[in-house]
Amino acid sequence: MIDATGSVKKQVTCESCSHQYEYEMTRTAIGSYSGFALTRQKADEEAAADAAQKLKTMLEIECDVVPCPKCGALTRQMKAAKAAVVPACFGGLALGGLIVGGVYLFGWWSGRWFIIFGLMGAGLILLSGSVLLVSFWGFITGSGKSK
């Protein structure tokens, strides 16, 4: 797997006060190649091309949640991006729970413990939980300012 990082300047026109501003958005894409390649180098090239393609799409269609510096409003796309974080985190929590539960059940049943998967599941729960906490914290502390 190969990753590619890039950034782009995003031009935003505020939907509530028409103020124009810009911000820099950075993304990292991970590329992989699972097909047949004669050499390791060839496979790396394919993975790098995959990463570059994914990165290009991410930079084009995604956005960061950057409120208007003048009135603090978010564009519709930013609101949607912000709203999508919470379900994604709950999905991560559920998946993490499922993995940990599966590892536990399988370990209990067969006596073989896939500790590494258990750790991955626990990591997923930890990550989703902390992102969820941070976004809720922003919601609580930011709710008084935004209108």
Kindly list the residues in this chain that would bind Zn ion in the complex (CB under 5 A): 14, 17, 19, 68, 70-71, 73
Nearer to Zn ion, 5 or 20 (CB): 20
Q: Least distance to Zn ion from the beta carbon of 78, Å?
A: 12
Q: Least distance to Zn ion from the beta carbon of 66, Å?
A: 11
Q: Least distance to Zn ion from the beta carbon of 18, Å?
A: 7
Nearer to Zn ion, 40 or 76 (CB): 76
Strand residues in the chain grouped as ranges (E):
2-13, 20-31
Residues 6 or more apart whose Cβ sits within 8 Å of residue 33: 43, 44, 46, 47, 50
- Closest listed residue to residue 47, CA positions, set 24, 63, 30: 30
